[in-house]
Amino acid sequence: MIATQAVRLRSLRLETRSTVLRGLDTPVRVARYALVRAGRDPADRLAQVSRLPDGWEVALTTWDATGMTDPATRPQLARLLHAIRVGDLNGLIAPSRTDISAFPDIYENTLRTIHACGGFLALVRDETEL
């Protein structure tokens, strides 16, 4: 069941990314994002997001040091969602699903929120590699 759920979440993420990318005729502007525990250095997590697909450019790099809190309460994630809403970013790229949430329902809701803002989430390691 967990593997099936991971595959479904991956499909949802890839479908929303595809939808956003189909509508673009400019370079894809993304933010590198990571989640770390309070007091931890985000450099290792962010270094995992150093390679981007051709045609993508990093517009911003940021992280939240809140640990596994509700994504809706994270200040930097809120900043990135606003940037997507106003058209400054097309999406976010993170090391793994756990940078958003380890909880499937919260992760899915956040994927839908990112898409509702007009953006997508890309991951270095997909949902089935947790």
Range with the lowest mean pLDDT among 22-26, 53-57, 91-95, 116-120?
22-26
Percent of the chain with pLDDT over 90: 78
- pLDDT score for 130: 58
pLDDT digits (tens, 9 = 90+) for 30-78: 999 999 998 899 999 999 998 888 889 999 999 999 988 889 899 999 9
What CATH class is the domain 2-129? Answer: alpha beta
Mind giving me the DSSP string for 2-67? Answer: HHHHHHHHHHHHHHHHHHHHHT--SPEEEEEEEE--TT---HHHHHTT----TTEEEEEEEEE-S-
Q: Is 79 helix (H, G, I), strand (E, B) or coil?
A: helix
On whether the CB atoms of residues 28 and 90 are closer than 8 A, the answer is yes
How far CA 31 is from CA of 5, 18, 80, in Å, comes to 26, 17, 7
Could you give the angle at the alpha carbon of 49 between the alpha carbons of 128 and 37, nearest 5°?
Answer: 80
By C-alpha distance, which of 115, 119, 72 is closest to 92? 119
Q: How confident is the model at residue 86 (pLDDT cuts 50, 70, 90)?
A: very high
Q: How confident is the model at residue 2 (pLDDT cuts 50, 70, 90)?
A: low
On whether the CB atoms of residues 24 and 52 are closer than 8 A, the answer is no
Amino acid, single-letter form, for residue 108: E
Hey, where are the domains in the chain?
2-129
Q: What is the mean pLDDT of residues 78-92?
A: 97
| 121 vs 38, higher pLDDT | 121
Structure tokens at 6: 């991971």
pTM of the predicted structure, to 2 decimals: 0.92
Asked whether the predicted pLDDT for residue 1 surpasses 60, the reply is: no
